[in-house]
Amino acid sequence: MIWHKKPETNNWQKRIEGTIVAHLGIELLEVTQDTLSARMPVDERTFQPMKILHGGASVVLAETLGSIAGSMAVNQEEFFVVGQSITSNHLRPVTHGWVTGMAHAKHIGKRSQIWDIEIWNEEKKLVNTSRLTLAVIRK
């Protein structure tokens, strides 16, 4: 298991109140031994002017997943993580429903982490793939 201690998504729900995560309707779903998943609605909060999922909203979902997962992989009393870099490839448009993302660690080091995040539509077709680099910082 990659988590510092037993992970729970319900602890994060309170922490995301009043943030872009809550504004976009992102919901944490599940933590497994080495992944974190969440979903986001495709609606007026996440549309671009052509009424398709905004690429920036996909990046917000990806960075949210990677950042929360990265935080759960460190001792939060001593460290925190911040995003350093994200690359994102938008593969197909989505016009309605929900998209679901999953973060998986590629590297968890003492000073940095790298997370791969994939986002799918309701038909399980890949919509976006992103890679997030996090800095691990001592408090």
Residue identified by tokens 């309170």 is: 14
The radius of gyration computed from the CA coordinates of the chain, to the nearest angstrom, equals 14
* Residues annotated as part of the active site: 63
Are 64 and 46 in contact by the 8 Å Cβ rule? The answer is no
Query: How far is residue 70 CA from its own chain's centroid?
Result: 10
Number of other residues whose CB lies within 10 A of the CB of residue 117 = 28
Can you read off the two tokens belonging to residue 131?
Answer: 């890679």
